[in-house]
Amino acid sequence: MTNREAPLLIATLRDRGLRRILCEGGPTLLDELIVHDLIDEMCLTLAPRMAGPQPLTREQSCLLDMPRKLTLEHVLSHEDYLYLRYGRGPK
């Protein structure tokens, strides 16, 4: 995905009437959505597993001027897993 594809893709989906868009992807997609300020809600699962260090193959190309603040909206726990939902809160 290029630097301009994420905003165009989201705008196209919104033009077609889709107001709730669920994206699942890896760090590249997440980076693009964050850089273009396209995330309203984030669901995060914490699993009780230790995997060790992971190789970093991508270079940091763009950092945010300021971190985006999210608010914890919901927490579930099941068999030592934590399921977290964060949102931007009211706009």
Cα separation, 3 vs 14, whole angstroms: 19
Q: What value does the mean pLDDT of the chain take? A: 84
DSSP SS3 for 82: strand
- Say whether pLDDT at 59 is over 70: no
- Say whether pLDDT at 12 is over 90: yes
Among 9-18, 57-66, 82-91, top mean pLDDT goes to 9-18
**Whole-model pTM?**
0.70
Out of 24-28, 46-50, 54-58, 87-91, least confident range: 54-58
What is the average per-residue pLDDT within 7-36? 88
Cα separation, 27 vs 77, whole angstroms: 25
